[in-house]
Amino acid sequence: MSYTLTGFEGKVAVITGAGRMRSIGRPIAIALAKAGCDIVLTGTGRSPERYPDDEKKVGWRDIDSVADEIRQIGRRALPIVADVSNPESIDTLLKQTISEFGRVDFLINNAGAPRGDDRVPITELSIDAWQQVIDINLNGTFYMSRAFAKQMGEQGQGGAIINISSLAAQLLAPNTGAYATTKVAMNGLTTIMARELGPKKIRVNVVAPGIVETSRLDDVPRGQVWDDMVSSFISLGRAGTGEDIAHLVTFLCSDQGEWITGQSIYVDGGHLPTPRR
């Protein structure tokens, strides 16, 4: 007899930051669709000029390409360009979701600020770079959770919110002041929301990835530099994949995960602490 996760049929999942080909958001969307959910996908509407070379090569179309994959699975998909740092954009997203599907059951807060100008010491961190990371990572999680948890509560059938955090919340490494701060705060917000929303049968958890092979980390050269990083820090000897993260997210949304809430679960292959120099 096979073991099957249940609790997805007729359910609707919203995944933010779901448009990149090599990513975490896309595998989460596909996994939940395979489990039985209809899917709402959000992205920033980035210009094709900003796509990585592998996306350009295959004619990638951001969230529209992911929506096509979901429809091929046999589920409905609604791709929507949305700005998670803008409460009005989120209100519109919620209205479009309810108009199309009539309900929402699972929210995956996966959108994140791009790596870039924020990866410097605090004394060199610009106010604009700091604010961008706060607005997308932390404020975006709050705005999305606030709007969609209220809808789930009004439906009266429970639900699940998964906040995609990061191992950075534990490592607290130099030059990650803005990013790591948002992830520490996200973990705390998750615990608070779990306590507040528990009576409404809405579960709230953090999934915190370690080093995952995505286009987000394309600034780290592949080859010897990448291999040395992986072998130095990851006990299991390989970088993670988006599917590794998607498996846990799917479980936490399932009936089988219904007694898990308020947790921060690190999916990192046994990442070792950063060695002291």
Question: Which neighbouring-strand residues pair with 203?
Answer: 160
Continuous segment of H or E residues that includes residue 38: strand 38-43
d(CA 116, CA 218): 11
Active site residue 179: yes
Q: Buried b vs exposed e over 198-221: b needs ≥16 C-beta within 10 Å?
A: eebebbbbbbbbbbbbbebeeeee
Task: Given the residues 51, 143, 179, 266, select the one marked as catalytic.
Answer: 179
Q: Do residues 209 and 234 touch, judged by C-beta distance below 8 A?
A: no
Give the angle subtended at the CA of 140 by the CAs of 142 and 177, to the nearest 5°: 100
Q: What number of residues does the chain have?
A: 277
Residue 96: which of 57, 141, 148 has the closest Cα?
148
Report strand pairing: 38-43 vs 12-15.
Answer: parallel
Helix 140-155 crosses helix 87-101 at what angle (to 10 degrees)? 30
Residue 12's beta-bridge partner residues?
38
Looking up tokens 């998909």, which residue turns up? 77
Question: Which residues belong to the active site?
Answer: 179
